[in-house]
Amino acid sequence: MNNYWNQYPVIKKDLEIIEDILKENMKCRDKEIEESLLMMLSSGGKMLRPSFLLLAGGFGKASSKKLYPLAAVIELLHMATLIHDDIIDNSEYRRGTPTIHAEFGPNYAVFTGDLLFTRCFTLLSNNTSMDNMRRISNVIAKICQGEIEQYSSHYQIDNTVKQYLRRISTKTAALFSLSLFIGASEAKCSKQLTAKLANIGLNIGMAFQIIDDILDYVGSEDIVGKPLGNDLKQGIFTLPLLYTLKVENNGIEEILKKKDYTAEDIRNIITKTIELGGLKRARELAKKYTDKAFKILNTLPNCESKKILTEITETLLIREY
């Protein structure tokens, strides 16, 4: 369990129970695959999405036992998308641990991700309403669509900021939003409160992804868990670069057309992105989404869940990057 939750012992205890549910649902006849999944689970992820679901449940009346399997579903879903991401990006490591793709090849990784998806629906079928089943299915479809759009946009210098924002809203923010929505819905919160929590999740997710993309340009490999410029090398053009490409005579379009970038090319692109204000504009947009999240957070009823959700959001979004 990540040390992130040491200051919140109640949440940590809940997440330990959820972790046990996850381990049970990672059992597999192929023990090597099972071991790889367990290693992925224990590699340092914060389990933010299941914790958001639990916190949203604290705004209403829901027993923790009812929320545990749903929180596990959210994490299984997240892990499945990460496994498939690693295949597409040809990633060898995630959080310092070899990926299933790197260990066993893409075919095994595809089947493993699919296995986790099926375990999601098995858990859901016994633990939530048909309405929430539909909502979760729709979010899975959105995530897949976002992945398709990202893959089809590789190395395209005519991508727009609008397209990027739509992509991250489905690929990242939708799952944050869903986590808070499901927790509130299962806790019988009012429609207004449930909608507020879902909107908070959307804005947190948008800011979170933009910050993550900024760190590809200026982050530390020890913190980010991947080499600087990793997305650039994969032809994934994110917000800082898209803003830079809007500047006339930016000096990087010819480099980007090569599609096979040297270390010097990556350094030049990063330097130009900083010099021409692309990074600054991306930070400004991340702050706008952060401010929106806090504006709605401040309107929530006072309770322990509000306090913890506010503090977590501050640690995620209010930092140097």
DSSP string of 18-29, one letter each residue? HHHHHHHTT--S
Q: What is the pTM of this model?
A: 0.92
Q: Is the pLDDT of residue 309 over 70?
A: yes
Exposure b/e, 208-247, CB count within 10 A at least 16 = b: bbbbbbbbbbbbeeeeebbebbbbbbbbbbbbbbbbbbeb
Distance from C-alpha of 76 to C-alpha of 61, rounded to nearest angstrom: 25
Reported as a pLDDT band with limits 50, 70 and 90, residue 176 is: very high
Q: Is the pLDDT of residue 151 over 90?
A: no
Average pLDDT of the chain, as a whole number: 90
Helix residue ranges per DSSP H, the chain: 9-24, 31-41, 48-57, 64-89, 100-104, 106-125, 130-152, 161-168, 174-186, 191-218, 221-224, 230-233, 239-245, 253-256, 263-275, 278-297, 304-317
- The two beta strands, 97-98 and 93-94, are antiparallel
For the record, the structure tokens of 311 come out as 């503090």
Q: What is the percent of the chain with per-residue pLDDT over 70, rounded to a whole number?
A: 97
Distance from C-alpha of 77 to C-alpha of 145, rounded to nearest angstrom: 15
Cα separations (Å) of 288 from 88, 241, 316? 30, 19, 14
Question: 19 CB contacts (<8 Å, ≥6 apart)?
Answer: 1, 41, 47
pLDDT of residue 286: 97
Q: What is the percent of the chain with per-residue pLDDT over 90, rounded to a whole number?
A: 57
Question: 210 CB contacts (<8 Å, ≥6 apart)?
Answer: 168, 239, 282, 285, 286, 289
Q: What is the tens place of the pLDDT at every residue in 64-118?
A: 788 999 999 999 999 999 998 888 877 888 877 888 888 888 888 888 888 898 8
Neighbours of 278 (CB within 10 A): 27
Q: Are 213 and 231 in contact (CB under 8 A)?
A: yes
Q: Are 297 and 313 in contact (CB under 8 A)?
A: yes
Kindly report the CATH number that applies to the domain delimited by 7-317: 1.10.600.10
* Type of residue at 280: K
Distance from C-alpha of 233 to C-alpha of 220, rounded to nearest angstrom: 17
* Type of residue at 31: K
Neighbours of 202 (CB within 10 A): 23
Rg over alpha carbons for the chain, rounded to the nearest Å, is 20
Domain residues of the chain, as ranges? Answer: 7-317
> Minimal CA–CA distance to 175: which of 224, 215, 142?
142
Q: Is 139 exposed, middle or buried (0-12, 13-18, 19+ CB in 10 A)?
A: buried
Q: What is the tens place of the pLDDT at every residue in 214-266?
A: 999 997 665 555 667 888 988 999 999 999 999 998 989 989 988 889 999 99
